[in-house]
Amino acid sequence: MKIYPYKRLNRPVALRVTSVSLRLADGTRDQLETTAYSTQQQAVALGIAGHTDWVSATIGLSATLPPGANAQDAPWSDLCVLAVLTDGETNIRTSAELTRDAPDGRDWSGSVEVLRDDHLGRASLAVYVVGTVDGVSGRSIAETDRSWIVDTASDEPVRGLQLEVQTASFKRSSREWLQAYADAPWIVDASARVPTVFVNTDVEGVIGLLDSNGSGMESKVRDLLVAQMATDVWTAVFHGAIGDLEVEPGAGPVFPTDWQGEVLREMLPDVVPGVHVEEALRQVHRRRTGDSGWVELQTRIHYAAVRRADATKALAHVIRSLEQMNRESET
């Protein structure tokens, strides 16, 4: 919990995306369906319309300030509301001022523009309420507690980390480095921009299994396989992220600004339970770079990965199906 040397609003700002449109290379606009954004996930997917030639996106926003923002005796003045779009991968920070919908209301609205040339993957969108407090202008007096994710490539508005799954014949792939892994059914590349699973098509039938859907045994086995892959991915990206940490002099390790940061924030509560994520990150970093404790931590890292991958659920479903099959063959 941060301590502020001045009065603030103690509730967060509520932010909603109200519309998304793309400006295409030929100058036309495409107003996207509401399926391009999800209020529950707090995510926007700009890849949903299948355009590869969009130039910019305009995201319509509506923000509701917490109660008390307009109080007669409020200790702040010059209220303004700012939407700020940041992207750690491309060092982008753009801000847009929102305007108040009604003179005494708590709803503000406006839009931010997202330039495609300025982003590679995911940007993050927050809203700040800013005012002059005790004679100091530019004070933040409230903000959103959870940023929206603006994914410039995804075709589905989901918040969580998306793995990329690619299939290739490891023996014959044009990616020659895959040949070294020709006897593995899949490998995880945690050094790619988003963690990628390469599935080896040289294992006969594996693609058929992965593509299977429906409710039969096959799909249960597929889910188990996917859970196993996901466990591998989560473990690999956790180690990747923790191995590349930057250390601020005097302040300890800092969260990476790209998806590696997202991975750490999500997994650390399971790796070091019961403390703030910042403290958990310090502890993990100390145990990795210090004298001892790194080996003991592996079980916790594995546990965090297994939980993320829903491995227990997948396993339970397979076992249940097997039991049913056995029962049917007995009768």
Partner 1 sequence: MITQPPHVPERLGLLATSAVDPFLTEELLKGEQVHGGIDLAKVVEPLHEDDARWWVEPIRSLVEDAMFEFREDRTRADAWLAPRLHATLRLTRREAADKRLWNHIALAVAPDYVVWRHRSEPTANRPERRVAAERFRGPADRQCFSRLWWAAELFRNGPDYEPVEAACGNQDLIHTVLRGGLVDHRPTAQALVRLLKSGKITTGRDVVGLSVAINAAGATLIYDVLAPDERRDPVRLRDWIAEAESAPPVERYELPTGPDEDPVPEESVAALTSYFAELFETAPVRGRKSGD
Nearer to partner 1, 175 or 320 (CB): 175
- Closest approach, Cβ 30 to partner 1, in A, equals 18
The verdict on 276 binding partner 1 (CB under 8 A) reads: no
Binding mask 87-126 for partner 1 (x = CB under 8 A): -xxxxxxxx-----------------x-xxxxxx------
- Closest approach, Cβ 4 to partner 1, in A, equals 6
The verdict on 257 binding partner 1 (CB under 8 A) reads: yes
170, 179 Cβ separation under 8 angstroms: yes
Residues 242, 244, 245: CA angle, nearest 5 degrees: 70
CA distance 3 to 89: 29
- Closest approach, Cβ 208 to partner 1, in A, equals 27
User: DSSP for 48-111?
Assistant: TT--S-EEEEEEEEEEEPPTTTT-TT-SEEEEEEEEEEEETTTTEEEEEEEEESSTT-SEEEEE
The verdict on 6 binding partner 1 (CB under 8 A) reads: yes
Within 10 angstroms of residue 24's Cβ, the number of other Cβ atoms is 15
The verdict on 251 binding partner 1 (CB under 8 A) reads: yes
Within 10 angstroms of residue 325's Cβ, the number of other Cβ atoms is 12
Containing 200, the helix (H) or strand (E) segment is strand 196-200
Tell me which stretch binds partner 1 (CB under 8 A): 9-17, 129-137, 217-225, 290-298: 129-137
- Give me the residues that bind partner 1 (CB under 8 A), please: 2, 4-6, 55-56, 80, 82, 84, 86, 88-95, 113, 115-120, 128, 130, 136-140, 175-177, 189, 191-193, 244, 246, 249-251, 254, 257
